[in-house]
Homo-oligomer: A and B are copies of this chain.
Amino acid sequence: MRDATPGVVNLDLSLPVWDEFFTIAPLILVGSRDPVGTANIAPKHMGLQMGWENYYGFVCSPNHRTQQNIIRHGSFTVSFTRPNQIIVTNLAASPRWDDDTKPGLQAIPTRPATTVDGVLVENCYLWLECELERTIDGLGPNSLVLGKIVAASAATELIESLALEAKEQGVQYLLHLWKEAGALQALREDLAADFEGEDPLLPEPSHEAEETRRRLLAAADTLGVRKRLVDHDEDYVRLYQTEVNESFKHLGLVEPYQ
């Protein structure tokens, strides 16, 4: 192996690479049905939307009751935790007692799932109810549990943010998109002038960019935030200039763009 590039460290693969740095992960609570009929809940951090259709998967140890339950019972639930739900998560992770129960689970507020036989954890922000599609073994000792989503529900706020109702979350998102669109537009015009009307870098045709800005303006009208839209946010433009210059350097164009 060559020496690493400056500023880059080669990682040691005799260890799991995941132990060598911090990263973020979603924290979900998976609900399953114990053999004796009680609800089981366990935290998992390796969950993923599996494609653009209604599939969800998570990585699980085959030694965990969760996976055994799901294979036997054929279904599971997923509750997506909020940052303050550390106690509930802690309770769900508690070890089993000698009689094979997890008494801490009784303190977790739940409601019945609507479509599969199972429970959902209250106060979360998103819930999926899944039928087991299959388990995929061979991730070292671990498996991927793949589910088909057969019902889903969400906290009202989560949906409202998508509907771009006049909520601060929607407004912030719009302002962010607007600044990005403005900075890209400024770069595009600038570069096109330098390159005799041809845009040398950005692949998206300029009528698409125009259309994006038109739709953002319409959304801003709906939200009543037009007067907060600023066309050239210098910080954003500078950020993108830096990135363009990286590309220029890479292409052997020595003159920095500014």
Taking beta carbons and an 8 Å cutoff, which residues of A are in contact with B? 1-2, 4-5, 7-11, 13, 16-18, 20-23, 25, 46-55, 57, 59, 84-88, 90-91, 93-95, 104, 106-111, 114-115, 122-123, 126-128, 133, 136, 138-142, 144, 146, 149-156, 158-159, 161-162, 173, 180, 184, 201-204, 239-240, 242-244, 246-251
Contacts and interface: CB of A to CB of B under 8 A. Distances in A.
Most buried by B among A16, A52, A111, A251: A52
A102 to B, nearest CB: 8
Nearest to A102: B203
Given A21-B162, A109-B247, A7 B46 contact: no
A158 B90 CA distance: 27
7 contacts: A16-B52, A23-B49, A84-B240, A90-B202, A107-B248, A123-B246, A133-B138
A51 B108 contact: no
B201 A154 contact: no
Nearest to A187: B87
Contacts of A20: 152, 154, 159, 162
A17 B94 contact: no
Given A8-B153, A91-B201, A108-B250, A114 B1 contact: yes
Contacts of A53: 16, 139-142
B54 A247 contact: no
Contacts of A85: 243
Most buried by B among A2, A46, A48, A161: A48
B22 A173 contact: yes
A17 B243 contact: no
A94 to B, nearest CB: 3
A154 B123 contact: no
Contacts of A21: 126, 154, 158-159, 161-162
